[in-house]
């Protein structure tokens, strides 16, 4: 994705209150985030998603573009999402974060 995964790891601290990624990651307040690229939204087994996210998943896939948009403005991209996060302001933060998460695409 072109970003800096180490900088992205620092950005991920803002997500880690609710999300885990990496070996043995479990869903918590939010779903685990392994193998995110190519994931159908709202498809982690056993996690209780909002109706809004389930509907979003009927016509979308998480890829660099949809993730970038969602992480900048969650409620604009998925109105009614229960993810209580305002969004990342800077493009660079999102690009770095996605480079970090892409490291967990094959576990
Ligand atoms: C959903 C990423 C911050 C709680 C999601 C999804 C992604 C994501 C990609 C959709 C996953 C899927 O469809 O399986 C992130 C990232 C964050 C962040 C990268 C930091 C930049 C947070 C925070 C919270 C949170 C801080 C808790 C306060 C949730 C919840 C959902 C969710 C509850 C399910 C949303 C729904 O069903 O509408 N997150 N998240 N997230 N996240 Fe986050």
Give the confidence band of 20 by pLDDT, cuts at 50, 70, 90. Answer: very high
Give the confidence band of 2 by pLDDT, cuts at 50, 70, 90. Answer: confident
Residue nearest to atom 18 of ligand 1 (CA): 15
Residue nearest to atom 28 of ligand 1 (CA): 84
Is the model's pLDDT at 1 over the cut of 90? no
Is the model's pLDDT at 101 over the cut of 80? yes
Is the model's pLDDT at 85 over the cut of 70? yes
Q: Which of 3, 11, 30, 46 to mutate to test the pocket of ligand 1 (most atoms within 8 A of CB)?
A: 30
| CATH architecture entry for 5-102 | Orthogonal Bundle (1.10)
Distance CA 90, CA 49 (A): 27
Q: Which residues contact 71 (CB under 8 A, 6 or more apart)?
A: 87, 88, 94, 97, 98
Distance CA 35, CA 22 (A): 10
Give the per-residue pLDDT at 106.
81
Q: Which residues contact 42 (CB under 8 A, 6 or more apart)?
A: 49, 53, 54, 56, 57
């Amino acid at each position: 994705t072109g970003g800096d995964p180490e900088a992205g790891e620092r950005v991920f601290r803002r997500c880690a209150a609710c999300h885990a990624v990496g070996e043995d990651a479990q869903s918590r307040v939010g779903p685990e985030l392994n193998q995110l690229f190519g994931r159908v939204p709202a498809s982690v087994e056993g996690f209780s998603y909002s109706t809004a996210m389930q509907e979003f998943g009927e016509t979308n896939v998480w890829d660099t573009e949809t993730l970038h948009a969602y992480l900048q403005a969650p409620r604009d991209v998925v109105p009614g999402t229960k993810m209580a996060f305002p969004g990342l302001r800077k493009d660079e933060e999102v690009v770095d974060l996605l480079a970090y998460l892409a490291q967990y695409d094959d576990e």
